[in-house]
């Protein structure tokens, strides 16, 4: 198993030495996939690609208009050895530069590990559709807006979809485009996009940050409710054993953020945040690092 933070200590450089390099999802994917294949065999499959605006406690620059970010995470399933592997393409002025495997843990069978077609991870191509369908206008009228994240996943209809999430702290825009054809699936306020992705909680997977998270740091999950409900979050290990209840609060209808501490976790690894609201129970995987 490799630990990314150990590599950070070796590769660390200052902002005076390293210049900001914005990466597309495709740009260094081959190097990351090769490193993962060397460690786990050629039978690996890509199951998620994501860039978020926070890594641990460090702000990460992400830009929806160009489909670029300073850090990209690639999640692979390795059936040969039963591992779930996180690969990273990193070129950050403070964190350093690294392209390869960051961490691996036993693959939890409860996760959706449907393979993505590697040929459709071109985030810069996806950005063209975002720009023509609302992102440019949104940013032009909201100079303080930021991109929360970019994600490649499957939508409920089985299409490979790119998702962008932007906010100016008052309102938000989210765009979903077909990752294969680059045609618009949905672009509008977050409520419209939440409704397009099966359940109110499911889209929160795209807006959960940071992930990975350092032990003791807070984690945040964006949720949407159709009616007032008590929202509860329990941290559970991969054996299904509850570690701690870390959140319980009433939320009003609409979009809101659930923030909870990971201080109850004693060691790094993969955990599940079990989110309960009324009769709905959804699980969110969290990768925890030292």
Please write the tens of the pLDDT for every residue from 46-86: 988 989 887 666 778 899 989 999 999 998 989 888 888 88
Instruction: Write down the residue that tokens 């941290």 correspond to.
Output: 235
Q: pLDDT tens across 84-138, in order? A: 888 999 887 777 888 998 888 777 655 667 788 877 888 988 888 888 878 888 8
**Residue 157: which pLDDT band, with cuts at 50, 70 and 90?**
low
Please give the pLDDT value at position 119: 78
Tell me which fold the domain 214-289 belongs to: Immunoglobulin-like (2.60.40)
**Residue 217: which pLDDT band, with cuts at 50, 70 and 90?**
confident
* CA dist., res. 37 & res. 167, Å (int): 37
Give the SS3 label for residue 258.
strand
Mean pLDDT of 9-15: 32
| Region of residue 78 (left: phi > 0; alpha: psi -120 to 50; beta: else) | beta
What are the two backbone dihedrals, phi and then psi, of residue 124, each rounded to the nearest 5 degrees? -70, -35
pTM of the model: 0.62
Within the chain, all domains assigned CATH 2.60.40.1930 are found at 214-289
* CA dist., res. 193 & res. 174, Å (int): 6
* CA dist., res. 23 & res. 249, Å (int): 38
Please give the pLDDT value at position 239: 67
Instruction: Write down the residue that tokens 């996939």 correspond to.
Output: 33
Higher pLDDT, 184 or 195: 184
Instruction: Write down the residue that tokens 């054996």 correspond to.
Output: 239
In sequence order, the 6+-apart residues with CB closer than 8 A to the CB of 10 are none
Instruction: Write down the residue that tokens 């005076």 correspond to.
Output: 16
**Residue 6: which pLDDT band, with cuts at 50, 70 and 90?**
very low
> Please, where are the H alpha helices in 142-223?
190-196, 204-207
């Amino acid at each position: 198993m490799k630990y990314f933070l150990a590599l950070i200590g070796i590769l660390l450089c200052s902002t005076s030495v390293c210049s900001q390099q914005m990466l597309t999802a495709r740009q260094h994917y081959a190097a990351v996939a090769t490193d993962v294949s060397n460690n786990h065999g050629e039978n690996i499959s890509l199951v998620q690609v994501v860039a978020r605006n926070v890594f641990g406690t460090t702000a990460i620059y992400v830009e929806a208009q160009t489909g670029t970010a300073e850090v990209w995470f690639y999640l692979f399933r390795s059936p040969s050895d039963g591992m779930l592997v996180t690969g990273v393409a990193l070129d950050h002025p403070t964190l350093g530069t690294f392209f390869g495997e960051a961490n691996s843990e036993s693959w939890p069978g409860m996760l959706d590990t449907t393979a993505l077609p590697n040929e459709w991870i071109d985030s810069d191509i996806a950005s063209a559709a975002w720009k023509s369908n609302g992102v440019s206008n949104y940013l032009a009228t909201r100079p303080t807006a930021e991109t929360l994240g970019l994600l490649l996943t499957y939508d409920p209809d089985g299409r490979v979809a790119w998702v962008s999430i932007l906010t100016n702290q008052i309102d938000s825009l989210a765009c979903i485009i077909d990752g294969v054809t680059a045609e618009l699936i949905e672009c509008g306020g977050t409520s419209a996009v939440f409704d397009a992705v099966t359940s109110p909680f499911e889209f929160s997977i795209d807006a959960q940050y940071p992930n990975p998270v350092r032990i003791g740091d807070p984690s945040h999950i964006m949720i949407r409710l159709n009616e007032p409900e008590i929202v509860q979050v329990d941290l559970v290990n991969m054996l299904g054993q509850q570690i701690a209840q870390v959140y319980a609060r009433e939320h009003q209808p609409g979009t809101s953020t659930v923030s909870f501490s990971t201080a109850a976790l004693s060691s790094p690894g993969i955990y599940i945040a079990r989110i309960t609201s009324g009769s709905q129970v959804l699980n969110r995987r969290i990768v925890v690092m030292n």
